[in-house]
Structure 1
Amino acid sequence: MHFRYDRGAVDAGRVLLHVYRALKEKGYDPVSQLVGYLLSGDPTYITSHAGARSLIRSVDRDILLEELVRAYVAGAAGGEGR
């Protein structure tokens, strides 16, 4: 299965960073909270601080996962993921 989406609509990487920072500001473990959200789809894993919950819900979870894999591969393989 291959997913395509309009990159201009929402930058998933920026959404993830914004949500990560908001979770950290509130004292949560951002990685655990993001994993919980991505696996379950339950928005209560994400704080409403700084609009993080609304923002993350504006992007499909499969798009967020695709961005995470792409960023990981780009970092681990010297840019192959982009």
Structure 2
Amino acid sequence: MANDRTIHWGSRHEDNQARRALLIAVDAMRQKGYNPVSQLSGYLMTGDLAYITNHNHARNLLKGLEREELLHELVRFYLRDQP
């Protein structure tokens, strides 16, 4: 029998922390000539921080957050203006 229960999931950190880390990392990747969408996608899928540049401490900022928290912030931002 199927489970009809919906699981509630939340972030461990404030969304602002994930948002700030993502914005700094995206800016650092652009400064170094990387495509942030490709690099972040690679990191989120594999967990390999080598996808994230060390420039401006971007790697360390993302390292302090769970990938799920980053994904949560990206989805929240994407859906922000949806009806």
TM range (shorter): 0.7 to 0.9
Give the unaligned 5+ runs of structure 1.
Answer: none
Match of 2:53 in 1: 47
The aligned amino acid for 1:16 is L
Q: Indicate yes or no: 2:35 matched with 1:33.
A: no
Cα deviation, 1:60-82, whole Å, max 9, x if unaligned, reads 0000000000000003x16xxxx
Q: Which has the higher contact order (CA 8 A, sep 6+)?
A: 2
The Cα shift of 1:7 comes to: 1.3
- TM (norm. structure 2) is 0.84
Alignment root-mean-square deviation, CA: 1.6
- TM (norm. structure 1) is 0.85
Q: Indicate yes or no: 2:19 matched with 1:13.
A: yes
What fraction of aligned residue pairs are identical, expressed as a percent?
A: 43
Give the unaligned 5+ runs of structure 2.
Answer: 1-6
Secondary structure, aligned partner of 2:80: helix
Cα deviation, 1:21-55, whole Å, max 9, x if unaligned, reads 00000000111000000110000000001101111
In structure 1, what is the Cα distance between the partners aligned to 2:75 and 2:23? 15
